[in-house]
Amino acid sequence: MRPPVLLDRPARWLLGALAAGALLVVLGNALVPQGHALHVSTYTVTLLGKYLCYALLALALDLVWGYCGILSLGHAAFFALGGYAMGMYLMRQIGTRGVYGHPVLPDFMVFLGWEELPWYWHGFDQFWFAAAMVVLVPGALALVFGWFAFRSRVTGVYLSIITQALTFALMLAFFRNEMGFGGNNGLTDFKDILGFDLQADATRLGLFLASAAALASAYLLARRIVTSKFGQVLVAIRDSEARVRFAGYEVEHFKLWIFVFSAMLAGVAGALYVPQVGIINPSEFSPLNSIELVIWVAVGGRATLWGAVAGALLVNYAKTVFTGLLPEAWLFLLGALFVLVTLFLPKGLAGVFLHRKGRPT
Amino acid sequence: MNVLEHARRLLRRDQVFPMLMPKRLAEPDTRHGPILYLEGVTVSFDGFKALDDLSLYIDDGELRCIIGPNGAGKTTLMDVITGKTRPDAGSVWFGQRIDLLQLSEAEIAQAGIGRKFQRPTVFGGHSVFDNLRLAMAGDKGVWRSLFDRLGAAEREHIESILETVGLADHAGRRAAELSHGQKQWLEIGMLLAQNPRVLLVDEPVAGMTPAETERTAELLTGLAGRHSVVVVEHDMAFVRAIARRVTVLHEGRVLAEGSMEQVQNDPRVIEVYLGEDDDD
Amino acid sequence: MIVLLWILALIPAGAAVAAADETALAAALEHLAGAGLRERAEAVETLAALDHPRVAVILQAYLDGRLYVERDGGEVLILAEAGAPHAAERALDGAPRGRVDADAVKRIGSNNALRKRLRILLALRALDAAEAAERRRAAETLIGELDAAEAEVLRPRLESEPDRAARAALAAAVALVDLDAPESERRLAAIDTLRGRLEPQVRGALARLAENDADPAVAAAATRALRGIQTRLDAYAFVEKLLFGLSLGSILVLAAIGLAITFGVMGVINMAHGELIMLGAYTTYAVQRLFPQWIEWSLLIAVPAAFLFSGAVGVLIERGVIRHLYGRPLETLLATFGISLILQQSVRSFVSAQNVAVVTPSWLSGAWQINPVLALTYNRLWIFAFALVVFFALLALLRYTALGIEVRAVAQNRAMARALGVRSDRVDALTFGLGAGIAGVAGVALSQLTNVGPNLGQDYIIDSFMVVVFGGVGNLWGTLVGGLSLGVFNKFMEPVTGAVLAKILVLVFIILFIQKRPQGVFPQRGRAAEG
């Protein structure tokens, strides 16, 4: 028996492609002059950075769904929470440059007539604090929610539906002005991050590279997990939960652990996403986002990490192309994708690929 | 229960507070003989009593067969022992110290009770080898499994089990691809890897060829002594081949208990079970 | 208010002066058509003083804004509806004048004060109406609007008014004036009369007395009366919340009941359920567009039409997609979600991305005013009744028809049902069609309550799932009780927390509830539920 390797062939391919792609983008953006055919515009850099964040999010979902069989329809909530944590830091960085020029309060609070900063906004002027919250807040929510859900053996579609209700409830909550997160409009008009101007090309490039690095390290971590005995237990839980229990494993601990880890990854993805798109608002919590994320993973092929990454990149690229060409057609296509993939490609593109190569998954 | 009663309980001196009792002991205490004590166990589903005030004792190292018509409560009995179903009344002890009703399914498994399901249940996505590795006795915590490395001793042990259950040539195959009989063997192999004190085996020879059945009989009788084995089986020929003591369940109660011969000659048993199935 | 005293005094002797009134009426009308608002107010008083059958008609028309004056000729006309051109009649004698052009006439304007005065004058006249209900309404209008002189004129009527409710309202109107009487006894007697009245004017006056009255006994009595009124108000507020909650609950039940069939009986997660509801709402719209002449009856046509249309779409979904995914609930969830996207976008692309206007038939509009603080709109009442009808019809269908027995057989044991000759694939298609059809019917009802747009379904899908899961999967009664209790719970939370927070709390409550009792309020028990 050959033990599973950390860097198998797809892993080497994926990391190599990521490194090569990042290098090309950097060269194309920074060294090739504008107007040249090989020039990569900053707009494209940001777009690619966004895709990488989505890929990271897809990776997070694949860990719980593909490997452990927990179909979370609320993963966008963790993504959005990470995004809000980063958004709060960016808001605090605006300082007196806001429309109202208040030294501490963000514009929307001045607009609402608030006198002082709510307690939960304290600390977000420090990057390290915000960075910690990016993982801790989604992690804590996942911990509490998962502890309740897994302990009372809520599984399958029930779990899916209550995760959806969770993100829906959060969306409604964040729409409220009283919550202190900017209500409808969310957080926007960011100026700089760690002292770098967010509009500058170099900052954009830096954020793109940070996303690529985050994806690469998350991928390695995830590989490390799924190739360990822990990963084998996860797959075993997916295939036969009761058997795992009677083999002496506390199934709930394993589920909880991977759920929390996945939520943290999603939080990181959200935190990298927000400075690149320049806004975070409650619609990021919408159940539709979470389900769209599921289809990225389904298209790419669940239970293969590179499949999740490839699916996220592919579907989002298609989305950009189609919404540009035929905005109306996109939802038709997305809907058809859901139906066709579940009917004909239950293992996604990865399944097709592996089948053609004649290997079992 | 009111406050006063709680207070009175706290002041009692003749017993140790439940919270101070050790939750889990490494070894069940079997100095008095039995390893499993079930007393007055009742389980009802919507008024239907699957187990009705059932009491049963299994001795350490014993091989016990449990037979009974469909709906007699055999599977429910296994569910109660392994923690899947909580009884409405009664007590279940593992040795004299371990109260199984206080433990989760995983804790019960770790305490030393293994179970083989009626339908062979293996991890289809894993190789045969990995199935055994996952079942292997040892620390099954989250952190331990994250950093677990397969040692040489462990590998040897798994390979010896593979030999025992005749799957050495299939170690690398995905368990989902195995035949029904092979899955049965794999599951028995997983039980061996788990190395429990008590093996609960639900219909082990269903779907096996006569030759395989014979090997299973050999294996199970060989296990008894070192382990306690409880077999639930329909196949009367198989029961005759292995049984030393037989318990007959009927409508959630113990109808008769004794050697195969005694049981076979018990008129009540003949009436409810053996009589009908004689041609079997 | 000398004029008023004068009119009221004149009324019994009306007939004798009829001829003289004819000219007076013409003069007053001319006055009304002429000058500014102040003159019009005077003209109105003059008119009201006349004992002429046309007066009530003219004043009512003026109040409704249907009183016009010809640009040339200066004749005062009453239009059948506000806004020319419409059929008109002469104000003076009601002689028909045919249709008049918009630019040939000019509306006689009024202001708020004048309209209020008109309402009082009309009410005073209506006190003599033959119908008790009309007299009661008139008396209620007068509460808080009388001055001392008017009250004195009305006082004798307290003896003569035969209808109890009308008498009580009249007494309240007079007593409200008496609250300002100089004698303590009269004030106390008035407070006694006003006990239990819910009109805001009464509460205002009593509160004033409780605060400021010189006589402590009167102030104390006013406080007591106020407290009594407050108790009644609280009771009605409770009833109102309960009724609103039941109304919301009935909507939830309607939306969820189709899902209870597909999810509960078949175990299929249908994320397109909300869109099937939406299709039902659009069917209503289509029916109204196709038969604009039958708006009043459009809903009666729309109910079966929506049932068939959504049901047919449901059967297509089942045959085309879901049938291939039985036993894979998570995949079913994803595929039907895809279908929901396609249905939404179809409506957006082929009908309109905007909301469409669905007309409410007249028998559904308006409200049932139970008392001054409690009113129920007719559409909510009807929908509540409709939800119950749909529920019991479905229950009867499942219990007594051959299809129902087959559905339940397949739900309980597919293999056994097939072995007994039930064509399970046909039953699956019909069951799913039934669930989808009921969603369509729910859509018809919802079209009367909310905006009909492509997103209609999304707003209800999560709520519907919550109801089904809360009530207990596979149990129609659970869905009914679950839906109604969630509706009531929501309405009782709303005043405390606000609507959005109430909804969040309901969701959180259900999330916690499912954790505690994964099988819902009415769990299915037994061996089948395990595993």
In this prediction the ipTM stands at: 0.86
B36 strand-pairing partners: B58, B94
> Looking at residue C206, what is its pLDDT?
82
Instruction: Pick the more confident residue, C265 or A164.
Output: A164
Q: Is C72 on the interface with B (CB under 8 A)?
A: no
Classify B166 in phi/psi space as left (phi over 0), alpha (psi -120 to 50) or beta: left
Closest chain A residue to the Cα of B170, Cα to Cα: A1
Is there a contact between C248 and C460 (Cβ–Cβ < 8 Å)? no
Give the number of other Cβ atoms within 10 Å of residue C14's Cβ. 13
Find the range with the poorest average confidence among A100-114, B16-30, B233-247, C401-415: B16-30
| Residue of C329, C342, C510 lying closest to A335 (CB–CB) | C342
User: Is B222 a domain residue?
Assistant: yes
Closest chain A residue to the Cα of C324, Cα to Cα: A343
Show the tokens assigned to A69: 């069989």
Q: What is the mean pLDDT of residues A44-72?
A: 95
Q: Which of A156, A361, A170 lies closest to A263, judged by CA?
A: A170
| Chains contacting chain B through 3 or more C-beta pairs under 8 A | A, C
Show the tokens assigned to C38: 């102040």
Residues of C in contact with B46 (CB under 8 A): 525-526
Backbone angles phi, psi at A98, to 5 degrees: -70, 170
Residues of B in contact with C527 (CB under 8 A): 45, 50
Beta strands (DSSP E) in C364-519 are 367-371, 374-377
Whether residue C15 has pLDDT greater than 70: no
Number of A/C CB contacts below 8 angstroms equals 117
Give the single-character DSSP code of A5. Answer: P
Q: Which residues span the domain enclosing A24?
A: 9-356
Closest chain B residue to the Cα of A235, Cα to Cα: B125
Closest chain C residue to the Cα of B43, Cα to Cα: C526
Whether residue C528 has pLDDT greater than 50: no
pLDDT digits (tens, 9 = 90+) for C205-233: 888 877 877 788 888 888 888 888 888 88
CATH architecture for the domain at C236-352+379-530: Orthogonal Bundle (1.10)
Is there a contact between B58 and B64 (Cβ–Cβ < 8 Å)? yes
Look up the CATH number of the domain holding residue B240.
3.40.50.300
Radius of gyration of chain C (CA): 31
Closest chain C residue to the Cα of B71, Cα to Cα: C527
* Residue showing tokens 């990042």: A22
User: Is A1 a domain residue?
Assistant: no
* Residue showing tokens 């067969």: B65
Whether residue C168 has pLDDT greater than 70: yes
Mutation target vs C (from A162, A179, A297; most C CBs, 10 A cutoff) = A162
Q: Is A331 on the interface with C (CB under 8 A)?
A: yes
Q: Are the beta carbons of A165 and C333 separated by less than 8 Å?
A: no
Instruction: Pick the more confident residue, C429 or C68.
Output: C429
Residues of B in contact with C522 (CB under 8 A): none
pLDDT digits (tens, 9 = 90+) for C442-471: 999 989 888 899 888 887 888 888 888 888
Instruction: Pick the more confident residue, A24 or C136.
Output: A24
Mean pLDDT of chain B: 83
| Cα distance between residue C58 and residue C73, in whole Å | 19
> Looking at residue C316, what is its pLDDT?
95
Q: Is C366 on the interface with A (CB under 8 A)?
A: no
Residues of A in contact with C501 (CB under 8 A): 173, 176
Give the angle A247-A250-A255 at the CA atoms, nearest 5°: 120
Find the range with the poorest average confidence among A41-45, A355-359, B203-207: A355-359
Q: Are the beta carbons of C339 and A168 separated by less than 8 Å?
A: no
Q: Which of A286, A300, A288, A276 lies closest to A330, judged by CA?
A: A288
Show the tokens assigned to B278: 């004689």
> Looking at residue B278, what is its pLDDT?
44
| Cα distance between residue A309 and residue A18, in whole Å | 11
Q: What is the mean pLDDT of residues A42-62?
A: 95
User: Is A346 a domain residue?
Assistant: yes
pLDDT band at B273 (very low <50, low <70, confident <90, very high): low
Between positions 333 and 362 of C, the ones with CB within 8 A of A are 333-335, 337-342, 344-346, 348-349
> Looking at residue C527, what is its pLDDT?
39
> Looking at residue B26, what is its pLDDT?
57
pLDDT digits (tens, 9 = 90+) for A244-271: 998 889 999 999 999 999 999 999 999 9
Show the tokens assigned to C420: 């007994």
Q: Are the beta carbons of A336 and C269 separated by less than 8 Å?
A: no
pTM for the predicted model, two decimal places? 0.81
User: Is A2 a domain residue?
Assistant: no
The number of folded domains in chain A is: 1
Backbone angles phi, psi at B97, to 5 degrees: -110, -25
Mean pLDDT of chain C: 81
| Residue of C330, C508, C518 lying closest to A154 (CB–CB) | C518
pLDDT band at C4 (very low <50, low <70, confident <90, very high): low
Alpha carbon of B45: minimum distance to chain C alpha carbons (Å): 5
Where would I find the H helices in chain A? 9-26, 42-62, 75-94, 107-111, 127-151, 156-175, 201-227, 229-239, 241-246, 251-277, 287-300, 305-325, 327-344, 348-356
Between positions 228 and 247 of A, the ones with CB within 8 A of B are 228-230, 232-233, 235-236, 238-240, 242-247
| Residue of A153, A172, A173 lying closest to C518 (CB–CB) | A153
Q: What is the percentage of chain B residues whose pLDDT exceeds 90? A: 9
Whether residue B3 has pLDDT greater than 90: no
Alpha carbon of A249: minimum distance to chain B alpha carbons (Å): 5
> Looking at residue A2, what is its pLDDT?
54
> Looking at residue A232, what is its pLDDT?
92
- Amino acid C305 reads A
| Residue of C269, C330, C504 lying closest to A169 (CB–CB) | C504
> Looking at residue C387, what is its pLDDT?
92
Give the single-character DSSP code of B127. Answer: B
> Looking at residue C282, what is its pLDDT?
95
Residue C15 C-alpha from the chain's centroid? 44
Closest chain B residue to the Cα of A1, Cα to Cα: B172
Find the range with the poorest average confidence among C184-188, C323-327, C351-355: C184-188
Is there a contact between C169 and C197 (Cβ–Cβ < 8 Å)? no
Show the tokens assigned to C111: 């202001």
Give the number of other Cβ atoms within 10 Å of residue C466's Cβ. 27
| Residue of A154, A172, A342 lying closest to C331 (CB–CB) | A342
> Looking at residue C283, what is its pLDDT?
94
Q: Are the beta carbons of C525 and B85 separated by less than 8 Å?
A: no
Mutation target vs C (from B43, B44, B46; most C CBs, 10 A cutoff) = B46
> Looking at residue C475, what is its pLDDT?
77
Mean pLDDT of chain A: 90
pLDDT digits (tens, 9 = 90+) for A80-130: 999 999 999 999 999 888 888 888 889 899 988 898 899 999 999 999 999
Q: Encode burial over C276-302: b for 16+ CB neighbours within 10 A, e otherwise.
A: bbbbbbbbbbbbbeeeeeeeeebbebb
- Element housing C228 (H / E): helix C216-259
> Looking at residue B260, what is its pLDDT?
84
> Looking at residue A270, what is its pLDDT?
97
Alpha carbon of A315: minimum distance to chain B alpha carbons (Å): 27
Give the single-character DSSP code of B20. Answer: G
Residues of B in contact with A221 (CB under 8 A): none
Instruction: Pick the more confident residue, C106 or A28.
Output: A28
Find the range with the poorest average confidence among A142-156, A235-249, B173-187, C184-198: C184-198
Whether residue A43 has pLDDT greater than 60: yes
Backbone angles phi, psi at A181, to 5 degrees: -120, 30
Alpha carbon of C525: minimum distance to chain B alpha carbons (Å): 6
Q: What is the mean pLDDT of residues B184-206?
A: 88
Say if strands B113-116 and B198-202 run parallel, antiparallel, or are unpaired.
parallel
Alpha carbon of B16: minimum distance to chain C alpha carbons (Å): 31
> Looking at residue A360, what is its pLDDT?
45
Q: Is C531 on the interface with B (CB under 8 A)?
A: no
> Looking at residue B19, what is its pLDDT?
57
Q: Are the beta carbons of B46 and C525 separated by less than 8 Å?
A: yes
Q: Is C510 on the interface with A (CB under 8 A)?
A: yes
Find the range with the poorest average confidence among A154-163, A164-173, A294-303: A154-163
Residues of C in contact with B85 (CB under 8 A): 530
| Cα distance between residue C471 and residue C520, in whole Å | 5
The listed range with the strongest mean pLDDT (A216-230, A322-336, C97-111, C517-531) is A216-230
Mutation target vs C (from B44, B45, B77; most C CBs, 10 A cutoff) = B45
Work out whether the CA dihedral B194, B198, B199, B200 comes out positive or negative: negative
Closest chain C residue to the Cα of B75, Cα to Cα: C527
Whether residue A13 has pLDDT greater than 80: yes
Q: Is C322 on the interface with A (CB under 8 A)?
A: no
The number of folded domains in chain B is: 1
